[in-house]
Amino acid sequence: MNYFLTEEQQFIREISAKIAKEKILPVRAELDEAQEFPWEIVKVLADSNLFGVYIEEKYGGTGGGVLDLCIAVEELSRVCGGISLCLAATALGTFPLILFGSEAQKQKYLPGIAEGKKIVAFALTESGAGSDAGAIQTTARREGDYYVINGTKQWITNGGEASIYTVIAMTDKARGSRGASAFIVEKETPGFTFGKKENKMGIRASATRELIFQDCRVPVENLLGKEGQGFIVAMKTFDASRPGVAAQALGIAQGALDEAVTYARQREQFGKPIISFQGIQFMLADMATKVEASRALVYAVARAVDRGETKIAKESAMAKLFASDMAMQVTVDAVQILGGYGYMKEYPVEKMMRDAKITQIYEGTNQIQRTIIASHLVKEQAGRK
Amino acid sequence: MNIIVCIKQVPDTTSVRIDPETRTLVREGVPSIINPFDMFAIEEGIRLKEKHGGKVIVLTLGPPQAEDALREAISLGADEAIHLCDVAFKGSDTLATSFALSAGIRKIGAFDLIICGKQASDGDTAQVGPGIAVQLNIPQIIFVRRIEEIQEGAIVVERISEEGFDVVRSALPALISVVKEINQPRLPSLKGKMKAKKAEITKWGIAEIGVDPGRVGLDGSPTWVEKIFSPPEREAHEPWHGEPDDLVKKLADELEKAKII
Ligand SMILES: Cc1cc2nc3c(=O)[nH]c(=O)nc-3n(C[C@H](O)[C@H](O)[C@H](O)COP(=O)(O)OP(=O)(O)OC[C@H]3O[C@@H](n4cnc5c(N)ncnc54)[C@H](O)[C@@H]3O)c2cc1C
Ligand SMILES: Cc1cc2nc3c(=O)[nH]c(=O)nc-3n(C[C@H](O)[C@H](O)[C@H](O)COP(=O)(O)OP(=O)(O)OC[C@H]3O[C@@H](n4cnc5c(N)ncnc54)[C@H](O)[C@@H]3O)c2cc1C
């Protein structure tokens, strides 16, 4: 369907599709198997300017927005939802800087990010604080011109590979959810090391790692926004980043649908191609309809964010929820259509199914998305009376 | 250094279908691409520019839509693009094509190096590059797989041959044609694409390059295609196994039977 994308967005799709086909397709199975971070692809994405599509031109980007990012992530995820995450997670770590960074912070960090020379990570989750982000234990204590960070973050995407980390830590535990703050921490900062590297079900070409802070001294100029704004930074970041996760799910699903259609046309049973069976046709038709419905929602939300809509938390949650649940269903169905072959590693759909699962879990589980949506429903109705 | 890269727009043969009825190529709706070998020529030109400074000018002779090929070259990093476009060029053979291209190059003026692809994926003659060199009376080195170095007024390259490769040194300006081993072409960038969209493309017809209409197009093309046909399929061959002495005897018998000896 024609979404009337700008010429620049069409170029982004074209370039991303070319990279996916020529550079990612040949290595995706291997990187998945070896759990290897895609540094060579990062270089290609960087040279093609894809790391800067949502960053302002004055900081070296191409001046697009969330929709531009979504298109790149979708197109790359069509071929590999693990490799595409190096870009999507960099954006997740960069939005706090775009939304809350001072001019000096932006000038210092954004150009390197836009160029793809520096990749970024976002660190909120801890072993005891997943959905309940307010339970984080990592602290940041002010000491003169520094904050001293102590604690351990868990399951951080791009962990160990990124050179810039946005870290949420408690500056004043007594103030509860108003006691958290967001910091920019550079990789080489003394007292900042990396722990366990996770062995995962899917998105295996993405690095997921523990971050360990032991008396890690970060200069006060690295505080993002104001002290106490940490969770606001996180929530506003998610409003902007969730369409990106949704786009990852969308791409994975589209990739699985493409594979299923191709296979169903080729595979013959009972003397004819299996696509001639109405049972298969109906599955494919449902899959395609769900994919398109997700795309329409994801693009609409991304466009709204880009046009400056700030009350977007509910719809942003909807896009992430709908597209990720859809991707799980569609990839499961794709495996079903490929039958036993779908279960084998020689075909890509088993990987797509493994990769799709994470999109229902991270950046807020889909249960959490539902609680966000429901809380807005309640608020909206209460406000009307 | 000033580098001129000659590129040709060709049909994307990977998406050409064969009509099952007529058994000919279905050309309608087939997208056009830059001749794959010319992608290596563009890449090498850009790398030389990045290393030695100067500029890369891409040049094509072709119908109006060949402009897309020039824009793509700009998106990859070429600085200027010149399109030789005139109805008078229609039907040009390799002689007329190289004649027109060399006239265009003379009009461009000073240059150090011309880079062509090894051959075009459609015409396949590998004649245009050498033809240009002859017209311009400059040295040519074809099938280059590596540029070893560029010195003051000279170039040293490795040229593939059937046995291996030759190291050849030539004075500049010169023309080289490149093979796919020479590099790995980069992918287009978003900034490059945006720049290419706005880029000014110079268009020259026969008047601008000052060529006589009789030297280009059908009138300027002595090549005459008598007939086009598919070569007959070769008969299945039969491998022989055995002791050398027996095989030699068998071979002699067969040759005698076929009245060859
Ligand atoms: C591969 C991977 C990459 C990740 N990358 C990052 C990253 O880059 N940065 C980062 O900060 N974090 C990251 N995370 C963490 C991720 O965001 C969390 O896993 C997620 O928020 C859920 O937290 P949890 O795993 O602790 O689950 P829990 O919060 O323990 O939830 C367990 C189950 O309970 C449900 N549940 C919890 N609360 C409720 C409720 N109130 N109502 C209904 N159901 C509820 C959940 O939906 C879930 O089904 C990553 C995780 C993974 C697996
Ligand atoms: C026998 C014969 C008859 C032909 N008759 C006709 C005809 O009647 N009508 C007709 O339209 N065509 C005709 N052609 C096609 C035409 O001659 C060729 O398309 C053209 O001359 C280029 O030759 P080529 O494709 O073999 O390129 P090659 O010589 O294989 O190309 C080598 C390199 O030269 C450069 N180059 C080639 N062509 C161009 C170009 N146009 N612009 C810039 N650089 C270029 C590129 O760098 C390319 O990699 C005929 C070809 C042959 C062999």
CATH of the domain at B134: 3.40.50.620
Write the CB contacts of A381 (distance below 8 Å, at least 6 apart in sequence): none
Q: Quick check: A290 and A326 in contact, CB under 8 A?
A: yes
Query: Is residue B122 within 6 Å of ligand 2 at its C-beta?
Result: yes
Counting ligands in written order, the one closest to the CA of A124 is 1
In the reported structure, the alpha carbon of residue A130 is separated from the centroid of ligand 1 by a whole-number distance in angstroms of: 4
Checking if the pLDDT of B27 tops 80, the result is no
Domain containing B32 equals 2-215
CB contact under 8 A, A48 and B188: yes
CA atoms within 13 A on the CB side of B29: 3
Domains of chain B: total: 1
**Tens place of pLDDT for every residue, chain A, 385 residues?**
999 999 999 999 999 999 999 999 999 999 999 999 999 999 999 999 999 999 999 999 999 999 999 999 999 999 999 999 999 999 999 999 999 999 999 999 999 999 999 999 999 999 999 999 999 999 999 999 999 999 999 999 999 999 999 999 999 999 998 999 999 999 999 999 999 999 999 999 999 999 999 999 999 999 999 999 999 999 999 999 999 999 999 999 999 999 999 999 999 999 999 999 999 999 999 999 999 999 999 999 999 999 999 999 999 999 999 999 999 999 999 999 999 999 999 999 999 999 999 999 999 999 999 999 999 999 999 987 6
Task: Check for a shared fold between A121-228 and A231-384.
Answer: no
Class of domain A121-228: mainly beta
Residue B156 domain-assigned (yes or no): yes
Query: Is residue B48 within 6 Å of ligand 2 at its C-beta?
Result: no
Q: What's the whole-number mean pLDDT along residues B65-71?
A: 96
What pLDDT, on a 0 to 100 scale, did the predictor assign at position B23? 65
Question: Is A145 an 8 Å CB contact of chain B?
Answer: no
What pLDDT, on a 0 to 100 scale, did the predictor assign at position B25? 64
Give the model's confidence band at B123: pLDDT under 50 very low, under 70 low, under 90 confident, else very high: confident
Query: Mapping DSSP to helix (H, G, I), strand (E, B) and coil, where does residue B27 land?
Result: coil
What pLDDT, on a 0 to 100 scale, did the predictor assign at position B236? 82
Residue B102 domain-assigned (yes or no): yes
Query: Mapping DSSP to helix (H, G, I), strand (E, B) and coil, where does residue B16 land?
Result: coil
Amino acid at A224: L
Q: Which residues does chain B have within 8 Å of residue A22's beta carbon, measured at their own beta carbons?
A: 187
Residue B139 domain-assigned (yes or no): yes
What pLDDT, on a 0 to 100 scale, did the predictor assign at position B238? 86
**Among A52, A156, A165, A65, residue whose Cα is nearest residue A110:** A52
Q: Which residues pair with B58 in a beta bridge?
A: B5, B81
Q: Quick check: B130 and B99 in contact, CB under 8 A?
A: no
Q: Which residues does chain A have within 8 Å of residue B189's beta carbon, measured at their own beta carbons?
A: 15, 47-49
**Residue B36 C-alpha, separation from nearest chain A C-alpha, in angstroms:** 14
Checking if the pLDDT of B228 tops 80, the result is no
Give the model's confidence band at B224: pLDDT under 50 very low, under 70 low, under 90 confident, else very high: confident
Could you list the active site residues of A? 363
Question: Is B197 an 8 Å CB contact of chain A?
Answer: yes
Work out the burial of residue B226: count CB atoms within 10 Å of its CB; fewer than 13 is exposed, 13-18 middle, 19 or more buried: exposed
The structural domains of chain A, with segments of one domain joined by +, span 7-119, 121-228, 231-384
Residue B226 domain-assigned (yes or no): no
Instruction: Note the CATH number of domain A7-119.
Output: 1.10.540.10
Class of domain A231-384: mainly alpha
Query: How far is CA B221 from each of CA A125, B92, B217, rounded to the nearest angstrom?
Result: 73, 6, 6
